Chains A and B, each alone.
Chain A
Amino acid sequence: MSRVHVSTTVNGDAVEYLCEADETLLDVLRDRLGLTGAKEGCGTGDCGACSVTIDGRLVCSCLVLGAEAGGRKIGTVEGLANGDKLHPLQKKFLEHAALQCGICTPGFLVAAKALLDHNPNPTETEIRFGLAGNLCRCTGYDKIVRAVQAAAAEMRKG
């Protein structure tokens, strides 16, 4: 099997890697680039734990080949915080206890950021629909929705 050489950008940093032709972007991020924020929940695009953005668009990295990523701009949960300063979404997830086991959290954060980038003032319904591609099996969605609402309010204040 011939490996594919890929040059791309992850969280603003230029990266290069060699991956197998059938290796997913999720596996590349976790196993080759050491970015273990994105999680494998289902591996079939149902749970959203592996959510990342490609050129600003929210996708499941388990349904993307590492080989496809050349020349794109990949965004992962590791790119949310600014150095030691947490992103408002991360801060509000902590304040509102919007996580228990934490497996779904990186996916929720990336999806919530993508949602707020498009719609800075979403209604509760819009948040629930916007995050419908992310499954949580322990925290419950209510605290997550409250955290996103609080973060959105803070981000609107600027």
Chain B
Amino acid sequence: MRYEAPITVNEAVKLLAGKSGIAKVLAGGTDLLVQMKTDRIEPDLVVDVKRIPGMRDIAAKGGGFRIGAAVSSAELGEHKALKKAWPGVVEAANLIGSHQIQGRATIVGNMCNASPAADSVPALVAAGAVAVVAGPKGKRNVPVEKIATGPGKTSLKKGEFVEAILLPKRPPKSGDAYLRFIPRTEMDIAVVGVGVNLTLDAKGVCTAARVGLGAVAAQVLLVPEAAKALIGTKVDAAALDELAAACSAACRPIDDRRGTKEFRIKVAGVLARRAAAIALKRARGK
């Protein structure tokens, strides 16, 4: 294996595109090094992107935020403005692993590892976050929900890597939230995860919403029907019932040792309802 730590994006792309064997991007390494240790992957080349300027920065951009690929979850949790604007995204990222893992794990890595149960991804999908993909043909912006195509698989092409996540500008009276179910009280893999993001008008009517569902399909799902259940309502009990039904209906889960299909379908609805209530409170400024 070769280790390279380029200092420009172009250099990183050239390295990733030029290698014939398995080339992997290293940011926090909390998935990659485990996969290497357990022989699930034997890379010929590891490209550490942490030395590229901007990769470790959270920057205000276009009224929103640009989060570099190597920003750790701990750093997200310490960024007051980000936490205020996107509490759901930050709380989702902060659920991943222990303090030790938080010090290294990144949301870009969480997304590119393409686990259906990745905690930060439903929150990012709900937020309408966009991945900035750099590659041999230049840069392209890809909605987060289009990155993972199945467990461990992404839509990234040879030579491409994600250099940042963009979070959009926040309209007034907006709130987001992420909830997951795990059998333990912490440090576990989501059996179901739900991200809800909504915006209210002056009268308290929901004008925009997005809902992301994790661990209930081969990849994290954006559920437009769930958003429709909220838009145009005051997010009252009837709307929450419809939201829960839409989320349960969108699930295409598997049975595994952490949860059955029936359980996941039911819990997706329950958590969506609870996450929406928290997002609503936050949108109202409480």
Contacts and interface: CB of A to CB of B under 8 A. Distances in A.
Contact of A44 (B5, B26, B37): B37
Contacts, number: 85
A129 B46 CA distance: 33
Interface string B94-136: 0001111101100000000000000000000000000000000
A58 B37 contact: no
B72 A57 contact: yes
A35 interface: no
Counting contact residues on chain A (CB < 8 A from B), the size range is 20 to 34
A130 B36 CA distance: 27
Interface in B217-237: none
A65 B99 contact: no
B46 to A, nearest CB: 7
B281 to A, nearest CB: 23
A135 to B, nearest CB: 10
A133 B33 contact: no
B20 interface: no
A156 B97 CA distance: 29
A15 B234 CA distance: 62
Most buried by B among A54, A60, A130: A60
Given A21-B1, A68-B48, A63 B33 contact: yes
B101 A22 contact: no
Contacts of A54: 103
B48 to A, nearest CB: 6
A45 B97 contact: yes
B50 A68 contact: yes
Interface residues of B, number: 26
A111 B30 CA distance: 18
A24 interface: yes
B100 A45 contact: yes
A22 B36 CA distance: 9
Given A21-B3, A68-B50, A130 B33 contact: no
Contacts of B101: 45, 60, 63, 133
Given A44-B37, A132-B186, A59 B97 contact: no
Contact of B3 (A4, A59, A132): A4
Interface in A59-75: 59-60, 62-65, 67-68, 70
B97 to A, nearest CB: 7
B103 A67 contact: no
A58 B46 CA distance: 23
Contact of A114 (B38, B72, B99): B99
B34 A44 contact: yes
A133 B3 contact: no
A58 B97 CA distance: 13
A93 B29 CA distance: 32
A155 B219 CA distance: 48
Contacts of B38: 44
Given A63-B29, A63-B30, A64-B29, A133 B97 contact: yes
A101 interface: no
Given A62-B33, A132-B98, A68 B26 contact: yes
B26 A111 contact: no
A24 B29 CA distance: 11
A70 B51 CA distance: 10
B74 interface: yes
Contacts of B33: 24, 45, 62-65
B2 to A, nearest CB: 6
Most chain B CB atoms below 10 A, which of A4, A59, A114: A59
B187 interface: yes
Given A58-B103, A133-B98, 16 more contacts: A1-B2, A21-B3, A24-B33, A48-B98, A51-B100, A62-B33, A63-B30, A63-B34, A63-B100, A63-B101, A63-B104, A65-B3, A67-B5, A115-B99, A129-B186, A132-B99
Interface of A: 1-2, 4, 20-22, 24, 43-45, 48, 51, 54, 57-60, 62-65, 67-68, 70, 111, 114-115, 129-130, 132-134
